[in-house]
Amino acid sequence: MPALSDLRIARPCPADWTAMAGDERVRRCGRCSLRVYNLAALSEAEGQRLIAEMEGRVWARLYRRADGTVLTRDCPGAPASTGRRIAMAAALASVFVASEAAVDRVSAFVAGSPEAVEAVVPVDDGEWIMGDIAVPEEWAVSPSRPR
């Protein structure tokens, strides 16, 4: 199956992720009542499996880096396990010890808050995008899916 970086958002959505009910993996939109999946909180394989199981009918939130890759849980710069969170938080704290704002971001990261996902994304002029995904033809989505 092709990489998640081949995905495009067919219909971008302006809804606010932080206002939705749910966790860092999936939330329910209060405007349209659809589930929105955060690909940054899934591994590449989990994201591919989700799209295959849903026959491509998925609303997703993704972070596309400047180089075009889609951030997933298992790629560099992604949200880490608790042990890695603590190590990364300690490293960040030592670099930003004088900045109160940085300490707040490190604390949120260690706590694993949904906002921390955005806090650990490398600054690379990428962007968060949310909406109905457009599955590439080579993913062999069911012919019954309307295009």
pLDDT at position 43, please? 94
| pTM of model > 0.95 | no
**DSSP state, residue 126:** -
Residue 146: left if φ>0, alpha if ψ -120 to 50, beta else—which one?
Answer: beta
Which element (helix H / strand E) includes 39? Answer: none
Q: Which of 16-20, 24-28, 81-85, 100-104 has the lowest mean pLDDT?
A: 81-85
Residues near 5 by Cβ (< 8 Å), separated by ≥ 6?
A: 64, 68, 69, 70
Cα 79 to chain centroid, rounded: 9
Which residue matches tokens 């302006």? Answer: 14
From the list 4, 124, 142, the residue with the least C-alpha distance to 60 is 4
pLDDT at position 136, please? 75
Q: Which residue would you say has higher pLDDT here, 79 or 9?
A: 9
**DSSP state, residue 122:** -
pLDDT at position 1, please? 66
